[in-house]
Structure 1
Amino acid sequence: MDYKLLENWQRKSQESQKKYKNFLKKADARKVIRELPTLHNEAFSKIDCLDCAACCKNYSPRFKTPDIKRISKHLRMKESQFIDSYLNLDTDGDYVVKSSPCPFLGSDNACSIYDARPSDCARFPYTDEDVIVHRQAITLKNSTFCPAVYYVLEKLTEKFK
C-alpha cells in the first residue's frame, strides 16, 4: 500500500500543498518530531535517492566554511581554488555551486564527494529533524521535488487527522 502512495507523488504533492501548509501551521511540533525517526526510516526503506537525485540536479546546498575546508582537502585543492572552480556567492551571501546539476553528481546519480559532502547534503531532506516543522517554507518546497518529504508529510497528515 505504501508503494501505491508513491505513485504519481509529484502531482499529488503539488495538489496537497495547501493541506501540508495547514497541517504544519497547526501541528503539535513535539508530537510530530517524535514520529520523524520512524517515518524517515520507513520512507528510505522504500525510496532510493540514486533513482531520483532531483535535489542534486536542481538545487544547491550551502557550502559553509567547514564544508569548504573538508571538501578542498578531500579534492587536494586549495580552498581558494575550490571556491573559484565550483562556487558562487548567492544573494544571501552563501556559497552555492555555480551550475546545475551539481558538478559532483555522477551520471549514475552518485556523489563523487559523498564522504566529504556539505552538511546540508548530509542532512537533506531533513525528514528526521525538527526542520520539517520549524522551517515550513523549506519543507513545502522540498515536498515538491523529494519523494521522501512527500512520503513523510503524507504519513504525518494521515496520522494526525
Structure 2
Amino acid sequence: MSGDTLHNWQKKSKEKQKQYKQMLERADKNKVLKHLPDLHEEAFEKVDCLKCAACCKNYSPRFKTPDVKRISKYLGMKESNFIETYLRVDDEGDFVVKSSPCPFLGEDNRCSIYEERPSDCARFPYTDEDVIIKRQKLTLTNSTFCPITYYVLEGLLQKLK
C-alpha cells in the first residue's frame, strides 16, 4: 500500500462508503480473515491512536456488566454510584457514557482507566476480528472517523481484487 494512503483519508473514506459496503457484502469471509492480522498490524504501525482519540472524543463503548463491576471496583466506587455518575442507557438498552468526550479521557488523549477499560475499547476498532464483516454498518461508520479502519478497508480493497 502506498505511503500516502492516509493523506486526506476522511474525505476519501466518505467517497468510498458504497465501495466498502459492496466489498464487505461480497467478500469471502475466510479471505478477509486471512488478511486482517497483517493489515491490522500495519495500520497500528502507521497510526498513533494518542494523536487521534476520535473514538473516545465522539463515541461511547458499551459498558457491559463485567465492565461496570471491574471499573467501579478499580475506582473504589459502588456500582450504583459509578452508573449514576458516568453512565446512561442508550436506545439499544446498553450502558454508555453520559457525555462526550469520554470522562476517562485525559487532555493527553490517554485513558485514566486504560488497564480496566471496557472490552469494547480494548477490541476497538475490531480490525483484527470477524466483527469487520459481521457488523458491516459499524465497520462503515468506524471508517469515517478511525484512520485504522479506513487503512484496513483500503488494504482489503487492494488484496481482494
Query: For residue 128 of structure 1, what is the amino acid of its counterpart?
Result: D
Task: Decide whether aligned partners of structure 1 residues 108 and 3 sit closer, same or farther in structure 2, where only a CA change above 3 A counts.
Answer: farther
Post-superposition Cα deviations, 1:92-112, rounded to whole Å, max 9, x if no partner, equal: 110000000000000010000
1:145 to 2:145 alignment: yes
Aligned to 1:54: 54
SS at match of 2:145: coil
CA distance in 1, matches of 2:16, 2:99: 30
One-letter amino acid of the counterpart of residue 59, structure 1: Y
Are 1:25 and 2:25 an aligned pair?
Answer: yes
Give CA-to-partner distance per residue, 1:4-26, whole Å, 9 cap, x none. Answer: 10010000000010110010010
**Distance across 2 between alignment mates of 1:19 and 1:121:** 27
2:42 aligned partner:
42
Number of aligned residue pairs: 161
Q: Percent identity?
A: 70
Displacement over 6 Å in runs of 4+: none
Q: Once the 2 structures are TM-superposed, how far is the Cα of residue 34 of structure 1 from its aligned partner? A: 1.1
Q: Which runs of 5+ in 1 are unaligned?
A: none
What is the alpha-carbon distance in structure 2 between the residues aligned to residue 22 and residue 75 of structure 1?
44
The answer to whether the Cα contact below 8 Å between 1:3 and 1:46 also exists between their aligned partners in 2 is no
- TM-score, with structure 1 as normaliser: 0.98
Structure 2 portions without partners, runs of 5+: none
Q: 1:86 aligns to what?
A: 86
- Taking the aligned partners of 1:138 and 1:43, their CA distance within structure 2 comes to 18
Shift of 1:55: 0.3
> Normalising to structure 2: TM-score of the pair?
0.98
User: Distance in 1 between the 2:2 and 2:81 partners?
Assistant: 46
| d(CA) in 2 for partners of 1:146, 1:27 | 21
Are 1:118 and 2:136 counterparts?
A: no
State how far apart, in whole Å, the 2-side matches of 1:124 and 1:31 are: 21
| Deviation, structure 1 residue 56 | 0.3
Distance in 2, matches of 1:91 and 1:10, equals 27
1:100 aligns to what SS in structure 2? coil
* Secondary structure at the counterpart of residue 142 of structure 1: helix
Note the alpha carbon deviations across 1:61-84, whole angstroms, 9 max, x for none.
000000000000110111001000
State whether structure 2 residue 98 is matched by structure 1 residue 98.
Answer: yes
Q: Distance in 1 between matches of 2:91 and 2:142?
A: 20
Say what the alpha-carbon RMSD is for the aligned residues: 0.8
Amino acid at match of 1:16: K
Q: Distance in 2 between matches of 1:46 and 1:101?
A: 24
